[in-house]
Amino acid sequence: MKDFISLSNWATKELWYLIDLAKHLKYELRSGGNRPVMHGKVLAMIFQKPSLRTKVSFEVAMKQLGGDAIYLGPEEVGLGKRESVPDVARVLSVYTQGIMARVFDHHYIEELAKWSPLPVINGLSDEHHPCQVMGDMLTIYEHFGRLERLKVAYVGDGNNVAASLVLAAAHFGMHFTIGAPEGYMLPEGVLDEAAPIAERNGGKINLYNDPYEAVAGADIVYTDTWVSMGQEAETASRLKIMEPYQVNHKLVARANQYAIVMHCLPAHRGQEITDEIADGPQSVIFPQAENRLHMQKAILVKLMA
């Protein structure tokens, strides 16, 4: 595959390869530093939305691998506004060796990939967040020593992170459940893509409106913001509808005794997750954030080295 846009069109064995490579690069970094396999390569990073983890981890990843990265914020590029997406894609292709983009509309990523001969990496769109979720798979693998047959319960808004999570769970033979209000479930299209992947790999998918049913016996409880970037106008109604879906002590008590709690961050403490849980003994949110760096490197090496 030239690009890393959605987990739906990647082969399961290639995703396992990314996990192995990320583990190797993490070990290599800790035992003296990474080899400069990206020497002379530059990653263009287009951001239409804010970011802490994605921006910093991609930039640090390129630098630790001996390459470089250029941050292009909304003011610089004006993707699709100041300049058409095909033109941006073709111009960046003459200066850099790869493009990572965070966009409002998923269609922009697909257009960049179509018009650029370079690898294009999805750093989050309204529909998917594949880099996040592959980092999360590394975290889960490190914690449990396996992925298959683990139950991952996603609670709250069926958003971009949830969409990538159901696809990853399907690839890795996990049991994915979601507890989300009516109207905020995963989009039909993603479920249609995930179902055959789950079937091939022994995964299972169950949808619930009741968060307690979704979380029962889960090994991993996962949540994300109730108001994703771009949905700010819906804040009041979303906060009200999602209230029963808070990941708090009472909800986590329904999960497996040894369950871990995950959040891609940024967290809205007191909304989708309580301080007690985010900072409690079951939370892995900071190792999870760290693994973004190691997984990003694996994706970069696989596509660009």
Of the pair 96, 159, the CB lying nearest ligand NVA is at: 159
Q: Pick from 8, 34, 159, 296: which binds ligand NVA (CB under 6 A)?
A: 159
Of the pair 54, 271, the CB lying nearest ligand CP is at: 54
| Residue 193 CB-half CA count within 13 A | 20
Write a three-state SS string for 3-48.
CECCHHHCCHHHHHHHHHHHHHHHHHHHCCCCCCCCCCCEEEEEEC
Q: In whole angstroms, what is the distance from residue 299 CA to residue 302 CA?
A: 5
Select from ligand NVA, ligand CP, none the partner in contact with residue 6, using the beta carbon and a kind-dependent cut-off of 5 to 8 Å. Answer: none
For the bound state, the minimum distance from the C-beta of residue 266 to ligand CP, rounded and expressed in Å, comes to 6
292 a catalytic residue: yes
Residue 257 φ then ψ, to 5°: -55, -35
Does the protein bind ligand NVA through residue 291 (CB under 6 A)? no
Of the pair 225, 274, the CB lying nearest ligand NVA is at: 225
Does the protein bind ligand CP through residue 53 (CB under 6 A)? yes
Q: In whole angstroms, what is the distance from residue 280 CA to residue 40 CA?
A: 43
Residue 100, by phi and psi: left (phi above 0), alpha (psi -120 to 50) or beta? beta
Site for ligand CP in 61-100 (CB under 6 A): none
For the bound state, the minimum distance from the C-beta of residue 31 to ligand NVA, rounded and expressed in Å, comes to 30
Q: Is the CB of residue 29 less than 8 Å from the CB of residue 5? A: no
Catalytic residue among 97, 132, 246, 271: 132
Catalytic residue among 106, 129, 171, 263: 129
Site for ligand NVA in 201-230 (CB under 6 A): 224-225, 228-229
Q: In whole angstroms, what is the distance from residue 110 CA to residue 73 CA?
A: 19
End-to-end CA distance of the chain: 14
> Which are the catalytic amino acids?
102, 129, 132, 224, 264, 292
Binding site for ligand CP (CB under 6 A): 51-54, 124, 132, 264-266
Binding site for ligand NVA (CB under 6 A): 124, 159-161, 224-225, 228-229, 264
